[in-house]
Chain A
């Protein structure tokens, strides 16, 4: 049984994510209150987008500072379609956003395949800065700076009239997140995933192994953008207003922060990082307001703590929280003398190739 699981990654991942889905279903239904479900939804949305960025930046070595802008494309796809046809089902909206953002990702990827390192970062930065300006120039379609309002999905009738909409959205988002992570976990372990890493680590060796580097990079961008599009669409349902102010450069930087803090190149790191980036302001905000400080100081305490946490996390966990956890587990196993199988510890995620 054990060897079977080790051999068939797909089966193993399938069982793991099925179990995860059941746990999340129980938590959101019986343990969490509406406010927690609301926050968990945000973490899941963030994690979907961060996972996409992990594939692009962590696994394929292309730095993107423009993922917030890609999320914006997903959010606006959903919002504009809903303004035109309010009755279209949610699944269709999600798919439309995935497709439209995937196409946008292909365009950015084709342009970006010629660029490396800081130049790619610069180009995607331009996207993050420029795209939020678009809605105000086409206000009739995109609602200008006020944005477009989106009504949150209503729970189906069979769940009863008292069923909380927050819980319904949490179910949808977590289901989307579980499916996304299942697909990405398999992708990363597949031949395509190995190709991504080879292009990141050694472009010359990749070409000598017959890999089309540019095509591989564009593919990584499409996969990554599709995740951002899905996250953007869910984000629109979650905030209920899609406006340019939701997709500033800050969002892109937070995503990058999340994957670096979590552990570059690791999908579980994307989840941990998203959790930290989303929840830290919530906790520190509550902490600051409990101190009875003047509002001027209280408003800045969360930012200061955020900065300190980032610095400490980088110092203590140079390979991210996921990498730190992995080496602690490894250390414990070694101490217990149960480290029979070599290569248990995942190798350190490396800096993206220049």
Chain B
């Protein structure tokens, strides 16, 4: 369970997140929707320690994440798939996967975890000895999620996975994500501008606007309510 409470972040005098409280239960996906500049990326960056909040707390199970370094937070079990994927193009697909969970002593389990990543995203297995610079956008996204999973996280933060992906491919990746969540009992926070795609897989959704949570509901209801959709999501 990822529990965010009263989280406030400011860049200089500008408030980017204003008393955001949110809990992401295990085995479920919470979508965070909103326009550009709503504070979506700030939220995930604060959870993973890249941004220091002014106030508030982020708990993963019994561990307080606020005040820890990004590498310490990663080691506690937060997998962050950054916007733009953060994969190393000079290394092969397999080598990129082996960058996941480098701090863990259990090498045998790392190999098992890499095999599981290949099972999760079969296209990667075909391309395992290809340099990542030759991958398509979809394959990069799979690789990035796969690498995060190799570390065996308990919470997964996805920042705009739909960016630059074709619809069909995105749907495939989202389907794999749903499988992952139920199999591994993950707490997933899914940041998206593409509300339609995010709502199709999420359990609950929040809409951020200017750093505040405007709306919080089950994904199903949000997707089904035309008035809400038009007002907040623009489709």
Residue numbers of A with Cβ under 8 A of B are 191, 194-195, 197-198, 201-202, 204-205, 207-213, 265, 341-343, 345-350
Contact A209 B91 (CB under 8 A): no
Q: How does the 8 Å CB contact mask read for B90-123 relative to A, with 1 for contact and 0 for none?
A: 1110010011111100000000000000000000
Given contacts A195-B102, A209-B151, contact A204 B50 (CB under 8 A): yes
List, in ascending order, chain A residues with CB within 8 A of B133's CB. 347
Q: How does the 8 Å CB contact mask read for B74-96 relative to A, with 1 for contact and 0 for none?
A: 11000010100011111110010
- Give A349's nearest chain B residue, CB to CB: B90
Taking CB atoms and an 8 Å cut-off, the chain B residues in 23-43 that contact chain A are none
- The reply to whether the CB of B229 lies closer than 8 angstroms to some CB of chain A is no
Contact B90 A209 (CB under 8 A): no
Contact B91 A197 (CB under 8 A): yes
Cα distance, A198 to B89, chains bound together (Å): 10
Contact A343 B103 (CB under 8 A): no
List, in ascending order, chain A residues with CB within 8 A of B130's CB. 342-343
Given contacts A208-B74, A209-B151, A211-B71, contact A201 B90 (CB under 8 A): yes
Contact B103 A205 (CB under 8 A): no
Contact A209 B102 (CB under 8 A): yes
Given contacts A209-B100, A209-B147, contact A204 B129 (CB under 8 A): no
Cα distance, A197 to B95, chains bound together (Å): 11
Contact B134 A194 (CB under 8 A): no
Cα distance, A202 to B50, chains bound together (Å): 13
Cα distance, A99 to B166, chains bound together (Å): 54
Contact B82 A208 (CB under 8 A): yes
- The reply to whether the CB of B48 lies closer than 8 angstroms to some CB of chain A is yes
Taking CB atoms and an 8 Å cut-off, the chain B residues in 116-152 that contact chain A are 127, 129-131, 133-134, 147, 151
CB-CB nearest 3 A-B residue pairs: A205-B86, A210-B74, A207-B70
Contact A209 B99 (CB under 8 A): yes
Cα distance, A213 to B133, chains bound together (Å): 23
- How near does chain A come to B128, taking the closest CB pair, in angstroms? 9
Contact A343 B134 (CB under 8 A): yes
- How near does chain B come to A114, taking the closest CB pair, in angstroms? 15
List, in ascending order, chain A residues with CB within 8 A of B88's CB. 194, 197-198, 201-202, 205
Contact B80 A195 (CB under 8 A): no
List, in ascending order, chain A residues with CB within 8 A of B102's CB. 191, 194-195, 209-211
- How near does chain A come to B133, taking the closest CB pair, in angstroms? 5
Contact B86 A343 (CB under 8 A): no
Cα distance, A202 to B91, chains bound together (Å): 13
- How near does chain B come to A85, taking the closest CB pair, in angstroms? 43
Contact B71 A198 (CB under 8 A): no
State which of A204, A345, A347 has its C-beta within 8 Å of the C-beta of B86: A204
List, in ascending order, chain A residues with CB within 8 A of B80's CB. 208
Cα distance, A346 to B134, chains bound together (Å): 11
Contact A343 B92 (CB under 8 A): yes
Query: 9 other contacts beyond A201-B89, A209-B102, with CB at 8 A cut-off?
Result: A202-B88, A204-B70, A204-B82, A204-B86, A205-B88, A209-B151, A341-B129, A342-B134, A349-B90
